Amino acid sequence: MLSPSERQCVEAVVNMGYSFECVLRAMKKKGENIEQILDYLFVHGQLCEKGFDPLLVEEALEMHQCSEEKMLEFLQLMSKFKEMGFELKDIKEVLLLHNNDQDNALEDLMARAGAS
């Protein structure tokens, strides 16, 4: 259940054309600051339009919200490793551990796959 101020915030952003679900997710991450919610939704929308999986975009926004370059790098590597058949939680972990270094992350993923 939303508080009156949360409801007002959601309504304001929904009236700008965003879906209720998207606004709620953004508000959970950003609080009731409409400007931050709009920034989040804008970047999220842009990355999804580039063809990235919306769930991966949310992960990237959470982990690299201050660097668009890092976010794109993370998304490209997540997508690539996901296509190779690795588990998302493992991919996220190794990319974080190796600071988006593709070779080290892949080596780590291969070692984990071999160990299981």
The whole-number pLDDT of residue 64 equals 79
Q: Which of 28, 32, 4 is nearest to 13 (CA)?
A: 32
pLDDT at 116 over 80: no
Percent of the chain having pLDDT more than 90?
Answer: 75
Give the CA distances from residue 5 to residues 25, 35, 42, 83, 105, in Å, rounded to whole numbers and listed in that order.
16, 15, 22, 42, 43
State the average pLDDT over residues 1-8: 91
Reading the block at residue 60, the tokens are 């990237």
State the average pLDDT over residues 83-105: 94
Amino acid in the structure at residue 64: H
Least confident range from 2-6, 11-15, 16-20, 62-66: namely: 62-66
Q: Are 58 and 25 in contact (CB under 8 A)?
A: yes
Reading the block at residue 99, the tokens are 């600071």
User: Can you tell me the distance from the alpha carbon of 102 to that of 31, in angstroms, rounded to the nearest whole number?
Assistant: 33
Domains of the chain, CATH where assigned? 1-49 (1.10.8.10), 53-116 (1.20.120.1920)
User: Can you tell me the distance from the alpha carbon of 102 to that of 15, in angstroms, rounded to the nearest whole number?
Assistant: 41
pTM of the model: 0.76
**Which H, E and C letters describe 18-84, residue by residue?**
CCHHHHHHHHHHHCCCHHHHHHHHHHHHHHHHCCCCHHHHHHHHHHCCCCHHHHHHHHHHHHHHHHC
pLDDT, one tens digit per residue, over 18-71 is: 999 999 999 998 999 999 999 999 999 999 999 998 888 988 888 877 688 888
pLDDT at 82 over 90: yes
The whole-number pLDDT of residue 93 equals 93
The whole-number pLDDT of residue 61 equals 87
